[in-house]
Amino acid sequence: MVKKVAIIGAGPSGLLLAHYLLRRGDKYQIDIYERRSDPRIISFSKSRTYPISLNERGMTALRKIEGLEEAVKAISVSMRGTIFHQKNGKTRFTPRKKPLTTLDRTKLAIALLKLTENYDQSRLNIHFNCQCTSVDFAAKKVKLQLETQEDFTIDYDLLIGADGGRSVIREHFLATEDFECEQKYVPNDYKSIFLPRPDENSGIYLEKGKIHSWMLKDGTFVVLLHQRDESMGGVILFLHNKNQIASLSSPEEVLQFFQKNFPEVAQLMPKEEAEAFLNRPVSRILTVRCSRYHQDDSVLVIGDAAHAVSSSIGQGCNAALEDVVLLDNLLNEYSDDLALALEQFTVRRKHDAHALVELGDNAFPSTTGLFIEFVLRESLANILHQIFPKRFPPSISELVFETTVPYSEILNSYKGWISKVKKSNEKLSANL
């Protein structure tokens, strides 16, 4: 019997899951519902977009779909390390053994969407401008609303909530028994930055194939990555209660702020971007930690809906894609028995997902003092691991960014450091 699957959210994890389920033959008929417009046909600038990095976790998930890894690499840039820019003009380079694959989030979604065009409507349908408004778990029904405000209801055998950190599906878990969910904002807010291809006469050269970062003493942090078209994209992060850009009221003041604090960025920023930056909203990152991810034998939340994490460790998308691999493995193990597969998803994912949130909150310091110590620890860890590989683990950065070691194992290996950063963060928050 063909099972009817409703996936709420056409982000990378929801789309990748559709590909995985469709590989399983004619067992599943899938409908995806996305509240935003189709990014293949709307103006790109109106899409929800920001740079993401895929490491071995994410790329392993993509490789299992024929042609997907090649499609992603064709629109991405390989990053071989990070350059830390200091106020005195000096730099420090931290190389990576395995390069990160970096690209725009919307471009990843488009690559996944293009590959779905190979399936006919008897197997897959994607509905854009269509928002989930409520769910009846007992009746296995979902109420949705079109852009025209018209409501309609669909039924399902399997409902997947891949609808992000503010998941509507997860909200309905709150009315069920024995479900707990901790949601909190990370201390840092952010604004996106988009810079055009550098002018050859600008005198500024930011090396390609490297992530570029700057940090101020108050924890304000800028990260920029080269894009495929040689433009640059990134973010400026700042403590919620120490928002230096809140008082900026004109493009000229924006440029003055960057010239004073991040001169390389200022010299690459045209007045048009300064004005766009001024009008761009400040974004907050919500972290999510749940006691379970399934409801009965028919509902599952994945990705940010299950374990939204701080962007500081670049694992949100990687962990979401890894969820898809885990579910696929469980469907194999339990011969597509949804009751067993969904229950085991919670059992096998919860420990790592909770560790992921903890790592995101406390793996990387937000003060310059601890940041210097962090850089030294990284160098020492790499040396010790090379000499005594069985006694000393790789650096925390290498484990997070370059391996598929479970997040819980990484947390256990560096629990002393995590505890130290956590105490520093709590002290910093108390002083704000």
Other CB atoms within 10 Å distance of the CB of residue 319: 26
Residue 12: the pLDDT is 97
Q: Give me the amino acid identity at 413.
A: S
How does pLDDT run across 342-392, given as a tens digit for each residue? 999 999 999 999 999 999 999 988 777 788 898 889 889 989 999 999 999
From the list 254, 102, 128, the residue with the least C-alpha distance to 193 is 254
In this structure, the chain runs to a length of 432
Which is nearest to 194 in space by CA: 276, 75, 102? Answer: 276
pLDDT digits (tens, 9 = 90+) for 214-265: 988 888 899 999 988 888 989 999 888 778 888 899 999 999 999 999 999 9
How far apart, in Å, are the Cα atoms of 81 and each of 93, 358, 363, 401? 7, 24, 18, 11
pLDDT at 87 over 90: no
Amino acid at 310: S
Give CA–CA dist 246/264, Å, rounded. Answer: 21
Average pLDDT, stretch 161-175? 97
Distance (Å, whole) CA 114 – CA 112: 6
Tokens read off for 33: 């519902």
Model confidence at 47: pLDDT above 50:
no
The pLDDT value given to residue 219:
80
Using CA of residue 187, residue 193, residue 199, residue 202, what is the dihedral sign?
A: negative
Q: SS3 letters for 294-344?
A: EECCCEEECCHHHHCCCHHHCCHHHHHHHHHHHHHHHHHHCCCCHHHHHHH
pLDDT tens for residues 325-351? 999 999 999 999 999 999 999 999 999
Tokens of 158: 């399997």
The per-residue pLDDT for range 96-150, each reduced to its tens digit, is 888 999 998 999 999 999 999 989 999 999 999 999 999 999 999 999 999 999 9
- Give the amino acid at 237: L
Q: Which two structure tokens, joined as six digits, stand for 320?
A: 């979401």
Q: For the chain, what percent of residues have pLDDT higher than 90?
A: 74
pLDDT (0 to 100) of residue 48: 47
pTM for this one?
A: 0.93
Nearest to residue 293, comparing CAs of 421, 115, 392, 167?
A: 167
394 pLDDT more than 90? yes
pLDDT at 45 (0 to 100): 53
Which residue would you say has higher pLDDT here, 241 or 202? 241
What pLDDT is stored for residue 368 in this prediction? 74
Provide mean pLDDT across the span 66-89: 92
